[in-house]
Structure 1
Amino acid sequence: MSNQPGGAPLSWASAAAFRRHFWQPPRAHGDVIQGREVSFLELFYDLVYVVVISQAAHHLSGDVTWAGVGRFAIVFGLIWLAWVNGATYHDLHGRSDGRTRSNVFLQMAVLGLLAVFTGEATAGDGPAFAAVYSAYLFLLACLWYTVRRQDDRELRSRATPYIVGVVVSAALVGASALLPDTARLAVWAVVVVGWLGSIVILDWRNGATRDTSINVSASLIERFDLFTIIVLGEVVVGVVNGIADAGRTPSAIVTGILGLGIGFAYWWSYFDFVAASRVRSDRGAVARWLVGHLAVTMTIAATGGIMVSMVEHVPRSPTAAPAAMLLSVSVAVGALALVLVATSLANWQSKAPVYRPVAAALVTAAAVALLLGWLAPPPWLHILLLMLTLGAVWIFGSLTWFSYARRVR
C-alpha cells in the first residue's frame, strides 16, 4: 500500500490490525469495564425513545379515558421492555468499536420506524407496529446469541432461556399482527406481564447467590436515571400541546405553567431520594427496582398525555371526567412506585430514619392525590394542589435528611 507523507507505510497488516481493533466481538459475560460511564452512543440511542414515547403519549392525549390509559400502559410496557433489553445488552456486552456502533445504529433505525406506527399502535397501525416490534426483538435475540456463542458451557446454559424468551416474545408479537385489535392488545399484555413475572420469579430464585441475577451496574443505574429524564420531557410536551390546543388563552397558559410544576416536583423527589443509588443484594430487590422504575416512568409519561386534556378543559369547572381522576391516579401510582424503588436500595436499612418517614409521606401524598381526583376541582386548582402535595413531600424529606445528617455527625 502507499506511504503516508512523513510516516510509516500503510500496509495490509496495519489495515488488518485496525479492523481487528475496530470490529471486535461483544464483551463476554463477566468482562466488566470498571468505572464505565454512559457513552455518547448510548445517549444518542436513548433519544430515539424520546420520539417513540412522545407518539404514545400523544395518542393518550386524544383518548383520556380509562380504556385509553389501559391501552397506553400496554404499549408503554412494550416500549420499556425494548429499552431495558437494549440498554442492558450494551451495558454488559457493548464496546466503543465499529461493530457495536453499527448494531446500535441498526437498532435506532428500526426504532425510528417503530415510532411511525406507535401513535396508532392500538388502532389502524397495530399490525405494522407488531411487525416492526417483532423485528426489533429478533435483532436483539441475534445480538444476545453472538454473546452466547463465545461463552463457556455453564454460561451458555444460563443465557439460553433468556434468548428463548426474547424469540418467543418476538414470535408472539409478530403473530399478533394477524389478529383483530382487541385480541392483539391481549397478546401484547400477555408479553408484558410475562416479562414482569419472569423478572420477579428469577430474581427471587437467584437473589440468594446474586451470581445469576440481573447485573445492576453504576452505568446501568445512570441509564435508568436518564430514561426518567426522557419521560419527564413528556410533561413539558403535554403542557405545550395543551396550551396550543386551548388557543393560548391566559387561563390555559397559567394552568399549563402550573402543570410544569408537577414535572418539576417529580424531578426533585426522584433525583433527591432514589436516583444514583446502588441496589440491594438480597432477593427481590432487583425486581422491585425494575418494576418500580416501569411504574414511575409510565405514570410520568401518562401525566404528560393527560396534561393536554387538563389544560384544554380550563374553561370548564369541574374538570371533564375522567381526566381529573386519571391525573390523580397517575400521580398517586407514581408516588407509590417511588416507595417501591426506595425499598430496593442498598441504603434502605442503614438510612431507615430517613427513608421510612419519606415513604410514609409519599403514601400520604398518594391518598391526597386520589382525594383531589374524586373532588375534581377546577383544572388550575387541581394541578396546583397536586404540585403543592408533591412539593410538601420533598420539603419534608429534605428536612428529615438534614436532621438525620446532623445526628450522625
Structure 2
Amino acid sequence: MAEPTPAVRVSTLELFFDLVFVFTITQLATTLAEHLDLATFGNVLLILAVVWWMYSGYAWLTNAVAPNSTTRRTLLLTGMAGFLVMALAIPEAFGEYGWLFGVSYLVVNVVHTLLFRTAGPGARTALRLLGPLNILAALLVLTGGLVPEPWRHLLWIAAPLVQISSSYLHRIDMHTIAAGHFAERHGLVVIIAIGESIIAIGAGFAGVHLGPNEILVAVLGLCVAYYLWWFYFAGDDSRAERVLAGAEDPRRRARLALQAWGYAHYPILLGIVVASVGIKKTVGHTTEPLHWPQALALSGGVALYLLGHAAFLAKLRLRGAYHRILCALAVLAVIPLGHLMAIYQLVAVVVIMVAAAIIEDIPEVRRSGSSAISDFGRTAPHE
C-alpha cells in the first residue's frame, strides 16, 4: 500500500468530524442516565462497539487519505451526516428508529469504502476483503433494526464479531501508519469526550437550586474529569506515540495501532460515558444515599477508564499499567460509601484519583529534580 499522504497534524476538518462523532457519546450517556439498568447498559455496549469501530475506520482512513480535495471533503461530510443521524437515533436504536440507525450506519460504511478507494491501488487491494465485511456488519445492524426480538439483538451482536474478525482476515500490514497523526487523532477524541462529559453533567443541573452542595458536586465532577485527562495526557500520550513510531515492522505497527488505540480505547470511552452518568446522578442528591446502580456507575465508570488505559499502556509496554489497576480497584472499593451518602463516594473517588496521581508523579519529580541539580552543577561557574 502506498505511503499515506503526509500529515503532520490533524486537520481542522478531522477535528470537526470528531466533534460530530462525540455527539454519539453524549447520546449514549443521556440514554443510560434515563434508564440506568442492565438492559440499557447492554445496548450501550453494542452501540458503542459498532460506532467506535467505524470511527476508528475513519481515523485509519484520514491517516492514509488526507481530506485535501473537494471530492474527499464532500464524502467526509456525507460520513459526518451519517454519524449525526446515527447519534439522533441512538435513544431508540433498539426500538422505533432501529431502521434509521441502520441506514445511517450503512451510509457511513459505504462512504468509508469509497474514500479508501481514493488512496491508490494498494488500498483497493486491502479493501477487497475489509470493505465487504464492513458492509456486511452494517447490513446486520440494519436488518436488526427491521426484525423483532430476539433476532434484533442477535444480529447486533453478530455485527461487531464480523468487524473484529475482519481485522485478522485481511493483511493488516498493508496499512501504513503515520504515528504522530494517528496518536494525536485518538487523543483529541478522548479530550473532546471528556469535555462532553462535563457538558452532560452540567445539563443535570437544569432546574436545580445552586446551593453549597450542588456547587461542591460541580467542582468534584470537574476534578474527576481533570484526573481522567491527567492519567491519559500527563506524558503517556507522547511516550505511546514514540513506541508506535519506533515499531519499524509494518505488521507490528498496524497491530499496535489496532489493539492499543482501537480495542483499548473502547473501555476508555465507555468509562467516560458511565462516569458522567454516575456523577450526574449525584446532582440534587448529595446528602442522600445512591441506589446501587448509581453508585456502581460512579465508581465503575472511572474504573473502566483506568482499566482501559492500563490495557493501552500494557500493550505498548509502558510503565503505569499496574498503578492504574490498583487505582481502579480502590475506586470500586468505595462503592458502599455512595449507598450511605452520595457525596461520600464522590469525595472518596476524587481523593483516590488525586493520591494515585501524586504517587505516580513522585518518581518523575525526583528524576527531574536530580537531573536539574546535575545540570546546574555542570553549568555553574567555578571560582
TM above 0.5:
yes
Matched with 2:160 is: 192
Matched with 2:189 is: 227
Matched with 1:69 is: 41
Give the count of matched residue pairs.
361
Shift of residue 143, structure 1, vs aligned partner: 2.5
Identify, as 1 or 2, the structure richer in helix.
2
Distance in 2 (CA, whole Å) between partners of 1:257 and 1:182 is 44
Distance in 1 (CA, whole Å) between partners of 2:126 and 2:184 is 26
- Give secondary structure in 2 for the equivalent of 1:275: helix
Alignment of 1:1-400 (within 5 A): 29-34=1-6, 36-147=8-119, 150-151=120-121, 156-180=124-148, 182-199=150-167, 201=168, 211-212=173-174, 215=177, 217-244=179-206, 246-276=208-238, 277-278=240-241, 279-280=243-244, 281=247, 282=252, 285-289=256-260, 290-317=262-289, 319-345=290-316, 348=318, 355=319, 358-376=320-338, 377-400=340-363
Question: Structure 1 stretch 189-198 or stretch 158-167: which is displaced more?
Answer: 189-198
Q: Conserved in 2, the CA contact under 8 Å of 1:130 and 1:174?
A: yes
Q: Conserved in 1, the CA contact under 8 Å of 2:29 and 2:273?
A: yes
Shift of residue 268, structure 1, vs aligned partner: 0.8
Distance in 1 (CA, whole Å) between partners of 2:135 and 2:280 is 37
- Give secondary structure in 1 for the equivalent of 2:334: helix
Q: Conserved in 2, the CA contact under 8 Å of 1:88 and 1:220?
A: yes
Distance in 1 (CA, whole Å) between partners of 2:370 and 2:156 is 51
Seen in structure 2, the aligned counterparts of structure 1 residues 89 and 126 have a Cα distance that, compared at 3 Å, is same
Distance in 2 (CA, whole Å) between partners of 1:250 and 1:234 is 24
Distance in 2 (CA, whole Å) between partners of 1:286 and 1:87 is 11
Shift of residue 246, structure 1, vs aligned partner: 4.1
Please, which runs of 5 or more residues in structure 1 have no aligned partner? 1-28, 349-354
Q: Write out per-residue CA displacement over residues 38-90 of structure 1, whole angstroms, 9 at most, x where no aligned residue.
A: 11111111121232221221111111223222211211222212211122212
- Give secondary structure in 2 for the equivalent of 1:180: coil
Q: Write out per-residue CA displacement over residues 16-37 of structure 1, whole angstroms, 9 at most, x where no aligned residue.
A: xxxxxxxxxxxxx423344521
Q: Conserved in 1, the CA contact under 8 Å of 2:5 and 2:65?
A: no
- Give secondary structure in 1 for the equivalent of 2:35: coil
% same residue: 22
Shift of residue 265, structure 1, vs aligned partner: 0.7
Distance in 2 (CA, whole Å) between partners of 1:191 and 1:98 is 32
Seen in structure 2, the aligned counterparts of structure 1 residues 194 and 274 have a Cα distance that, compared at 3 Å, is farther
Distance in 2 (CA, whole Å) between partners of 1:216 and 1:32 is 7
Seen in structure 2, the aligned counterparts of structure 1 residues 31 and 216 have a Cα distance that, compared at 3 Å, is closer
Distance in 2 (CA, whole Å) between partners of 1:252 and 1:182 is 43
Q: Which has the larger radius of gyration?
A: 1
Shift of residue 263, structure 1, vs aligned partner: 0.7
**Aligned letter for 1:180?**
P
Question: Structure 1 stretch 244-253 or stretch 320-329: which is displaced more?
Answer: 244-253
Q: Conserved in 2, the CA contact under 8 Å of 1:314 and 1:380?
A: yes
**Aligned letter for 1:151?**
P
Q: Conserved in 2, the CA contact under 8 Å of 1:110 and 1:132?
A: yes
Distance in 2 (CA, whole Å) between partners of 1:400 and 1:292 is 26
Distance in 2 (CA, whole Å) between partners of 1:180 and 1:217 is 44
Q: Write out per-residue CA displacement over residues 169-208 of structure 1, whole angstroms, 9 at most, x where no aligned residue.
A: 1221121121125532332232224423544x469x96xx
TM score, norm. by length of structure 1: 0.80
Distance in 1 (CA, whole Å) between partners of 2:258 and 2:81 is 30
Please, which runs of 5 or more residues in structure 2 have no aligned partner? 375-383
Q: Write out per-residue CA displacement over residues 219-267 of structure 1, whole angstroms, 9 at most, x where no aligned residue.
A: 1110100000121023212321222254444423322321221111100
Shift of residue 405, structure 1, vs aligned partner: 4.8
Q: Conserved in 2, the CA contact under 8 Å of 1:303 and 1:327?
A: yes
Shift of residue 98, structure 1, vs aligned partner: 1.2
Distance in 1 (CA, whole Å) between partners of 2:207 and 2:291 is 16
- Give secondary structure in 2 for the equivalent of 1:178: coil
Distance in 2 (CA, whole Å) between partners of 1:256 and 1:63 is 22
Distance in 2 (CA, whole Å) between partners of 1:182 and 1:308 is 32
Question: Structure 1 stretch 221-230 or stretch 94-103: which is displaced more?
Answer: 94-103
- Give secondary structure in 1 for the equivalent of 2:4: coil
- Give secondary structure in 1 for the equivalent of 2:8: coil
- Give secondary structure in 1 for the equivalent of 2:68: coil
Root mean square deviation of aligned Cα = 2.6
Seen in structure 2, the aligned counterparts of structure 1 residues 64 and 293 have a Cα distance that, compared at 3 Å, is same
